[in-house]
Chains A and B, each alone.
Chain A
Amino acid sequence: MPKGMVVIDKDRCKGCGLCVETCPFGVLVISPEFNRYGYNVATMGAPEKCTGCGMCAQMCPDAALDVYRAVKEGV
């Protein structure tokens, strides 16, 4: 199970790629998929690498990313 997860609001995403640039672990990629406004949107290309650090969301200019972290077992 990955440590983190990014939930991408596809309608807000404009595919600028600042999240892709920022992610230290190469989790995010710009997908060939278009949203309804014609933008290629960001998606989790390597979800297993996500640590839930939240850096992508802090750089997102469209407030399109929510970031979650797995609760540690036994906590």
Chain B
Amino acid sequence: MSVVETKVPAGFVPVYTRPKSLSDKRFTYCPGCHHGIITRLVAEAIDELGIQERTVGVAPVGCAVFLYEFFRCDFAQAAHGRACAVATGIKRANPDLIVFTYQGDGDLAAIGTAETIHAANRGENITVIFVNNQIYGMTGGEMAPTTLPGMRTVTTPEGRDVRTTGYPLRISEMLAQLDGPTYITRQAVFDVRHVQMARKAILKAFRNQLEGKGFSLVEVVAACPTNLRIPPAEGNRWVKEQALKYFPLGDLKVRD
């Protein structure tokens, strides 16, 4: 379906090409949405490890609901928040498969908190990609458990008031307390350097599963320019200058 404008002239070699484990389908994310970068990084990890033929993804409810259309992999569509339970069922039924979930903050950190914590605590040998953009994007920009104090959303029109709606939930810190998980890290993709670090983290999270090391979760602090009502480039600055104040980057737990 895609038409490539320019022919590559002789004398050039590829530096970067679209990951092979992605399908031809256009992403359905909004312009400038960090989901697209993170989805692509997952595909790059699958390519690099050569596991496309044995990978099963679990798609969430939310902006990544169409994830199964973007990959050339088997996929299960899970109910809202239940991805880690579905992934547990798949992985336990067939441990030879490489199973990953890809979930937003509403899915993973609100309605699916219990499924996430208990899968982590059991040390399920799965890989979880957690996109924390501090908002419910798909439903129209409502407050998420990760919404920053004072941040305006359609359900906190005067800004999130922590006295009545609580504080941003730091799921990765919570999970890092547990004995079960192997690898818990928080990354971001607001510039190339951080994209490269996030890429390494996602690769490690998949490699851990291949090596049977247990539960790995990569949280990626992301921007939703559409619901923040700012241009995409400002979304990058929003993450760097606002979101990271509450969600500092780095490894929270690494067990080798």
* Chains A, B in direct contact (C-beta < 8 Å): yes
Q: Mark A22-33, 1 if CB is under 8 A from B, else 0.
A: 100000000000
In the complex, which residue of chain A has the Cβ closest to the Cβ of B5?
A10
Q: How many residues of A contact B (CB 8 A)?
A: 35
Counting contact residues on chain B (CB < 8 A from A), the size range is 35 or more
B3 contact from A11, A18, A52, Cβ within 8 A: A11
Min CB distance, B193 to chain A, in Å? 10
A5 to B195: give the CA distance in the assembly, Å: 21
Interface Cβ pair total, 8 Å cutoff:
114
Contact between chains at B34 and A58 (CB < 8 Å): no
**CB within 8 Å for A71 and B11 given contacts A11-B26, A22-B192:** yes
Min CB distance, B65 to chain A, in Å? 17
Whether a CB of chain A sits under 8 angstroms from the CB of B75 is no
A6 to B37: give the CA distance in the assembly, Å: 18
Contact between chains at A68 and B1 (CB < 8 Å): no
In the complex, which residue of chain A has the Cβ closest to the Cβ of B6?
A7
Min CB distance, A33 to chain B, in Å? 10
Contact between chains at B236 and A18 (CB < 8 Å): yes
In the complex, which residue of chain B has the Cβ closest to the Cβ of A68?
B12
Whether a CB of chain A sits under 8 angstroms from the CB of B140 is no
Min CB distance, A4 to chain B, in Å? 7
A9 to B22: give the CA distance in the assembly, Å: 14
Min CB distance, A14 to chain B, in Å? 4
Contact between chains at A17 and B232 (CB < 8 Å): yes
A54 contact from B4, B16, B22, Cβ within 8 A: B16
A49 to B198: give the CA distance in the assembly, Å: 28
A13 to B203: give the CA distance in the assembly, Å: 26
Whether a CB of chain B sits under 8 angstroms from the CB of A61 is yes
A62 to B196: give the CA distance in the assembly, Å: 17
A62 to B16: give the CA distance in the assembly, Å: 14
Contacts of B1-60 to chain A: CB distance below 8 A: 1-6, 8-9, 11-19, 22, 26-27, 29-37, 39-40, 43
Which of chain A's residues have a CB closer than 8 A to the CB of B5? 7-10
A66 to B2: give the CA distance in the assembly, Å: 13
Min CB distance, A37 to chain B, in Å? 8
Which of chain A's residues have a CB closer than 8 A to the CB of B192? 22, 55, 58-59
Which of chain A's residues have a CB closer than 8 A to the CB of B191? 22, 59
Contact between chains at B29 and A61 (CB < 8 Å): yes
Which of chain B's residues have a CB closer than 8 A to the CB of A54? 15-16
Q: Name 14 interchain pairs, CB-CB below 8 A, sorted by A.
A: A8-B5, A9-B2, A10-B2, A14-B31, A16-B225, A17-B32, A18-B236, A55-B192, A58-B196, A59-B189, A59-B192, A62-B27, A63-B22, A68-B14
Q: B residues bordering A, Cβ < 8 Å?
A: 1-6, 8-9, 11-19, 22, 26-27, 29-37, 39-40, 43, 189, 191-192, 195-196, 225, 231-233, 236
The list of the 6 closest CB pairs from A to B, nearest first, reads A61-B36, A16-B32, A14-B31, A68-B12, A16-B31, A57-B16
Q: What 12 additional pairs, Cβ within 8 angstroms, besides A17-B233, A65-B16, A67-B15?
A: A12-B2, A14-B30, A21-B233, A59-B189, A59-B195, A60-B36, A61-B33, A61-B40, A62-B26, A62-B27, A68-B14, A71-B12
